[in-house]
Structure 1
Amino acid sequence: MLALCCGCAGPGGGDGGRAPGPPTGVSAEAGSATSVHVMWNALSGVSAYEVYRGTVKVDDVPASAHMLDITRLTPATAYVFTVRARDDEGRLGPPSREVRATTPAAVAADHSAPTAPGGVTGRAAGSRAVQLSWTAATDDRKVVSYDILQGGVKIHGVGGAQTATVVTGLRPGTRYSFTVRARDAADNLSPAGAAVRLTTAPGDDGGRDTAPGNFRVTTHRADGAYYIDLAWVPPRVDGVVTEYQIQLDGQPATSLVWGGTPPRDKATHSFYAGREAGAGHRVRLRARLPDGTWGAFSAERAVTTGVQP
């Protein structure tokens, strides 16, 4: 399901009289046999988040964070999680969509930690993001997850089958140090891999590598009116992109918010452009990244109603 809003502000932020909207981009990944890592998109205008396991609130998270490790869970058990946002007035928004994660089975008497991830490399992806990759760690049983640390503090977690991630929401022209460590089902932690030090690009380019790719624009006519048809490849960032902003002739025109499963490989959308043939327009779009910031704009395309390229 795709929700549309014209001239929208950012999703879910308080507007002075309404409760925040539901957090988007919520995901859950088992971190061990007794823990699950939950993440969500940051919202503007909120003071805190509440994270629920089923109907039970498990913790409050400050607005500056958009992740939580939920611990003391039962091995080999399926769990359901939701997140709610709270504003400065104490208004609590509706719950996010439910996400599910199943903890792996516990392994008896496992005291052997995984090896450290090797070959950690990275590169700056513009001024506000970096891309990290590493060689898989090994374990006598199985690596269940990886912790990503920034300056020694865990900022993210990914599944044990994943050996790359994108860290967003960084500051332009700033030097960072990242390390990666592996975790098994018994919560044994490996030593951290070698630190990789990266400096984001100066200025504020919005992170060019976060722009939608292969952006194409055409038009079609239906019921006496013309529509502009868009197709693009979502940016390759860690997490889920649920919202895009379309800019028409240099002005924000429409925001798209996916309420179901957002596309990962190819996205399309059509919107009304009027009844006049031969009308020229310039179109581009950008994605709201999982950390709540806007990515870079796509290339701008020119299109004329009734004329195919």
Structure 2
Amino acid sequence: MPLIIRDFRPGDAPAVMAVRRAAVPFLVQTPEALAESVAGAPAAQRLRLLVAEADGVVVGAGQTGLQHDTSEPGQAFANPQVHPDHRRAGAGGALLAEAERYVRGFGVVRMHSWVMDEEPSRSFAEHRGYASSRVAHVLRLDLAHAPLPPAAPPSGTQLRPLGSFRGDPRPLFALECQTVEDEPGDVASDAMDFDDWFADTFVHGGIDQELSTVVVVDGVPAAHSYVETDGRTRLASRGTGTGRAYRGRGLATLAKIDSLGRARAAGITDAFTGNDDSNAPMLAVNRRLGYRRFAGERRYVRDL
């Protein structure tokens, strides 16, 4: 049978996650969270999850859509992934071509993609007209044996699970806007919408509401560490940051220590995180906690 590129169906979730885990060994998500994130994606994102199928077997997948939370017009993303056992058979190229065709219909002028910082992934991107933009480090912590320091909040400071904000998440959104805007990147996330953030991050994003920590100072959310798990023993950071008025106090470290402690108590043994090469403060925090380099990713960009 020929290779087929089609849209994701909820029943594909286990097979797609098997492909993604094999292609990106530090990716952490459950099949249920994947299906929920696709179904609950913001309308403005125009998200599509493409599936590559050969002889009835899912061999690859790739998300594509618009970068809807930026003031820069015409920005889109595509991240094709192919199972290592099925590479060099055209699936990756077909996924990327369909993604480019799709976003062009929305007036997109630039496509962004993350690939593994290794051969042949770099050659795959460069052969298709993509230029290297930035590098990110993927770090791993052996949480089962890491000597975590105690999470000792100073006076006037509370450590609360993310889920405790279900009744009123708007203060978290205000914090998120600051931390995301200040992250290094090719496109500024400076146009976030509360309803989109609430649906995509707080409700459908797969973030663990009990293992994620928010640091509250004098009643105001000041820092956070959000995490997602694979439903088994692995965890990945989904964002750690501090509000501008509270930086320099070690609050991001405090949030991360508390979140990791909660995770270890819940049976998590491996923790992954990713940091842009230029994000020296967060790289320093993670290395102090015992994270060590596991892999690398490279951002590629193409003008359409």
Q: Which range, TM-score by smaller chain?
A: under 0.3
More strand by share: 1
More helix as a share of residues: 2
Give the structure with higher Rg (CA).
1
TM-score after normalising by structure 2: 0.26
